Structures are given as C-alpha cells and as structure tokens.
Amino acid sequence: MQENTDVLILGSGIAGLSAALELAPHVTVTLITKRAATDSNTNWAQGGIAAVVGDDDSFDEHVDNTMVAGDGLNHRDAVEMIVAEGPAAIERLRAVGVAFATDLAREGGHTRRRVLHATDITGREIQRALLERVQAHPNVRVVEHHVAIDLIRRSKSAQAHSLGERIVGAYVLDEATGAVKTFAARAVILATGGSGKVYLYTTNPDVATGDGVAMAYRARAKVANMEFFQFHPTCLYHPTAKSFLISEALRGEGGVLRRIDGTPFMDGVHPMKSLAPRDIVARAIDMELKRTGDDHVVLDLTHLDGHMMAARFPTILGTVKGFGIDFRTTPIPVVPAAHYQCGGVVTDLFGRCSVQGLYAVGEVAHTGLHGANRLASNSLLEGAVMGSRAARACRDELVGVSAPPEIVPWQPGYARPSGERVVVSHSWDEIRRTMWNYVGIVRATARLERAHRRLALLESEILEDWWKHHVTRDGIELRNIAQVGRLIVEGALRRQESRGLHYTVDFPDRDDESQLRDTVLWRGPHR
Ligand code: SIN
C-alpha cells in the first residue's frame, strides 16, 4: 500500500517538529516516529538552549566560544548563521508556548550565562509545546510506532517523469501489523537524531540508534566527521540507574569534580576547571579512573545553597534521591558516557544533503556548527534554527517538483520469520561493547583496527540474516548501529591527529597542516 504526502519527516524531536510547523501552512506533511512521538533525545535534554539574549552578551562571543570548543574545525559560516538566527528561534519557541525561566544558565565552554532553560526539563517543555501545535494542525499527520527501514531513491533511468535522480520516500515498518508500507513524498526530511546506543554506556534514550545516518549513507548521501563522538563527563554512576544524565548546568552553578577521596582534579587541567569544554573534562576523568583504579569520580554540590539548587534542579534531585543520594549533602557518583554525535549527514546551510530531495536537520546532520566538539546547549539551538530553515528551503524547492511517483512495493522475497531473537541481542551487545572498549574517549590505531575487523565481520553476519528474515524493529536498529559503528571507526582511522573529541595516543598532537579538513565518507554515485 502506498501513502502519498508532500513532505515526509522522519523523527519527532525539536528539529523535525520545527520543520513540520513551518511547512504545515503550505503543504501536506507526514511525520513518522518509531515509538511514541515524545520518545526523542530532545525530550531528555536537561540543560537548555544556548542563544544570545542577555544584555551582556554578543554574537561574536557566542561564535568565539563555539569555535574554541570545536577546536578549529567548525565551519565559520554555519556558526555565524546559526548563532545569529538564535534569538528569532527562541521567539518562535516562546510563541508556541515554551515557558522558559527568566534567568540564564551557564554551561561548559560558555564565557557568559546564555542558556535558556525550563528548570532541568528544558527539552521536555520544548517538545510538549511544539508537539501540541503540530498534532493540532490539519495538514500534518503524525504516525507513531512506524520504523523507517530505507530511503527510496529514484534513479534517472528508472523514472518516466520530471523528478530526476532523487529521494522519493521511504519504506516503513508498521510495528503493530508487521507490514512494510511505502510512504511516497516530494521531499524527505531526516530528523532522526543521533546514535548514542552505538556505545555500551550512553546518556541517550533507546531510540538513538543512528537510523538517519545509516539510511542516508546507504542512499549514497555524504556523511562527515563521525569520529567526533561527544562523551558527556557526568552520567550517574549507580548499579541500577540506566543512562541518567547529570546536567552540566550543575557545574555551571559551581559544582566541583573530585576524586572519591575528595581531591579536586580539574584545577591544573584547564583555566575553566570543572567547567572546561566537555572533551577536556571527559578525558581528565578517563585519565583519573585509569590512574587511580576507581570506577567513578564524584560531582560535589554540597557547598552550594541547597534551597536554590533544589528549586533549580528539581528533577535531577528527585531522581538521584530515588537512588539514595541527596546532592545537598552527598556528592553524586559520576562517569562519562556517550552523549552526542557531532558528525552526520552532510548538509548545506539550508539542510540540503548531497542527494536531491533529501534534507537533514538536528543531530543527524553535519552542518559544520560543532566542528570537533559541540559547545553545550548548541544542539537544541541548531535543531530549532535548521528545522525551520530547511523547511523554508524545501517549501520553495517543491514549487518545481511534481507529485510522488508510483513506487515498487517492498519485496520481502523468500524471507521468513526470525526464529532466534537472542542472536540479535548478542550482536547488539557485541557491537556496543566493541565500540566502548576500542573506540572510546582515548583511542589507538591498533585498537581501532581491531574494532574495524570485528565490526566488519558482525556486519556481514547481520546482513546475511537481514535478507533471510522478516524485518523487525530490533533487526532494523541492529543493522543501523552496525553501519554507524563502522562509519565512526572509519572516520577515526582516517583522522591521523588528536583534535577535539578524537584523541589518539598514536597521533597526540593537532595537525593543522594536513588534517584541517572534514572526514567525508561516501559510497560513491549510484550506478
Ligand atoms: C547537559 O545538560 O549537561 C546537557 C546539555 C547538552 O548536552 O547540551
């Protein structure tokens, strides 16, 4: 069964919802999300959204902080544009009902207070407001529990009308029925978020399986800088806690990182101490853990005003109290965990990818904003700015694009139901462990090569299974994390220097002479 729409959006975080809102008055939009519409990285964002709104702030200073964090690899045009469009994006969010607090927070790498927040549930508040508007719009259809399998690419030779070679939709698994549906569109916007689940320990929710990068790469779009994976320095360390982020905003209020024995260790590392850029803090913690043999460090807030901290961070306090830790009296045990994919599908400043008809916005995209390391709270900003901007470009482009074509339905071939789900979970675990052990915060060429060999073998076994069995959500996600893991390793092997989030003991210095470039990975043109 083929379902037609003008624009197909995959993903329901800030970028996808901003795009849908901008397009809705002009064209029909189908927004597909693989679980409930609220299951997104956006929903989990605690810290906030960075923008120049304070009287003491300037665009130049926000640009400068972003470039310093990015370690020289940011695209200045992207940084300047996104920072300059920040205040307008904030106004759009306020206009749809996002209730930001009146004060501004500070996070790592920012020299000013410039992070707008809604206590410590900023992402949830943004998602709530945007989703309410999107769901109420008659031109938008939100389809939940549908998992995109692959983008559909119509090549020049195969088409009989004026579309040219471009993306014309996606095959999508309906989880309730197991049927694979064809969604045909005049343009597709990827807003599928990141890929934290590629690593064993992550702050990301279960949906972050790199689906957009994997699908775009398979559809022969260019992907860049996947080696730059950001590890957040402070994820709660507790045997029964799953992926709970301890926001950097706590350090913005004066929280201090210490060893278990109470010694502060960031003083000699960076002038901003515990509030240094994330790559530096995460590496310092990694070094401390290796040196001392401890399994965590602590974030100490006990010297701060307990009333103020409880009012400002009610969700974090409530959650850690659930694990028996009252941060007003006891330091929080923390470890670094995979947090943010700084590379992604290559786009221009309008979200356009290297394949026609395809746009990418938010964490799935590589606009050049983040360079080698993302500045805290620049991601919601990028999602809001680029979601709207890509939607406007897409709307203009659609004037010259005809209705979706007839598409050959998904061919299941001789696939049969999968008998052994345990094989999927074993491969899933092996990939994530391999990435954690060999492609983590501190890298070495020999370990990257070992990871490459293991992932290549796993990927070939996964693909063999893929063609034999009916598609399932687990199978789709497994194929995607295997693909994205390999892209991260390939990027890391190609970058023979240490810069930002990519640190390798074999090339410990930054090399501006031969490595000041993006690592672009591409399967080549369609044949
Ligand atoms: C945090 O609250 O520490 C996360 C913010 C971000 O990743 O930008």
**For ligand 1, what atom is nearest to the CA of residue 234?**
3
For residue 526, give every residue at least 6 positions away whose Cβ sits within 8 Å of its Cβ, in sequence order, or none: 153, 155, 165, 220
249 lines ligand 1 (CB under 6 A): yes
The sign of the dihedral angle between the CA atoms of 304, 309, 312, 315 is: positive
From the CA of 75, how far away is ligand 1's center (Å)? 22
DSSP 408: P
* Mean pLDDT of the 21-30 span: 98
| 403 burial via Cβ count (<10 Å: 0-12, 13-18, 19+) | exposed
Burial grade of 141 (CB within 10 A; 0-12, 13-18, 19 or more): middle
What are the pLDDT digits (tens) for 243-292? 899 999 999 999 999 999 999 999 999 999 999 988 999 999 999 998 99
The position carrying tokens 């401390």 is 288
d(CA 194, CA 118): 23
The more confident residue out of 50 and 399 is 50
CA atoms of 392 and 189, how far apart (whole Å): 12
What residues contact 137, with CB distance under 8 A and at least 6 apart?
20, 21, 24
Whether 427 lines ligand 1, by a CB cut-off of 6 Å, is: no
116-133 pLDDT per residue, tens: 999 999 999 999 999 999
108 CA → ligand 1 middle, Å: 9
**C-alpha to C-alpha distance for 87 and 167, rounded to whole angstroms:** 33
- Select from 41, 43, 46 the residue to mutate for testing ligand 1; criterion: most ligand atoms less than 8 Å from CB: 46
Does ligand 1 come within 6 angstroms of the Cβ of 341?
no
Question: For ligand 1, is residue 47 a contact (CB within 6 Å)?
Answer: yes
- DSSP character for 209? S
**Per-residue model confidence as pLDDT tens digits over 285-343:** 999 998 999 999 999 999 999 999 999 999 999 999 999 999 999 999 999 999 999 99
Atom of ligand 1 nearest to the CA of 378: 8
Separation of 48 CA from ligand 1 center, angstroms? 7
Max intra-chain CA distance, the chain? 71
Q: 378 alpha carbon to ligand 1 midpoint, in Å?
A: 9
The residue among 137 and 404 whose pLDDT is bigger is 137
Convert the pLDDT of each residue in 400-447 to its tens digit. Answer: 888 888 999 998 877 777 766 677 889 999 999 999 999 999 999 999
| Overall pTM surpassing 0.75 (yes/no) | yes
- 46 Cβ closer than 6 Å to some ligand 1 atom: yes
The closest of 205, 333, 313 to 253, measured between CA atoms, is: 313
CA distance 80 to 70: 13
What percentage of the chain has pLDDT greater than the value 70? Answer: 97
Confidence of residue 161 (pLDDT cuts 50, 70, 90): very low
- Is the pLDDT at 159 greater than 50, yes or no? no
Bridge partners of residue 31, in order along the sequence: 9, 142
CA distances from 182 to 3, 120, 126, 149, 420 (A): 6, 39, 31, 10, 27
Q: Spell out the domains of the chain, with CATH numbers in brackets.
A: 2-227+342-400 (3.50.50.60), 236-337 (3.90.700.10), 421-509 (1.20.58.100)
By alpha-carbon position, which residue is closest to atom 5 of ligand 1?
47
Q: Could you tell me the pLDDT band of residue 46, with boundaries at 50, 70 and 90?
A: confident
* Cβ of residue 376 lying under 6 Å from some atom of ligand 1: yes
pLDDT at 422: 72
Ligand 1: centre distance to CA 69 (Å): 14
* 105 ligand 1 Cβ < 6 A: no
Residues in CB range of 127: below 8 A, 6 or more apart: 12, 13, 14, 17, 38, 40, 42, 43
Q: Is the CB of 173 under 6 A from ligand 1?
A: no
Distance CA 291, CA 283 (A): 12
CA of 380 to the centre of ligand 1 (A): 10
Clarify whether 278 is annotated catalytic.
yes
For the CA of 379, the nearest atom of ligand 1: 8
H helices of 55-192, where?
A: 59-69, 76-84, 86-95, 122-136
Catalytic residue among 220, 258, 278, 479: 278
Instruction: Check pocket membership of 316 for ligand 1, CB cut-off 6 A.
Output: no
Whether 245 contacts 336, CB under 8 Å: no
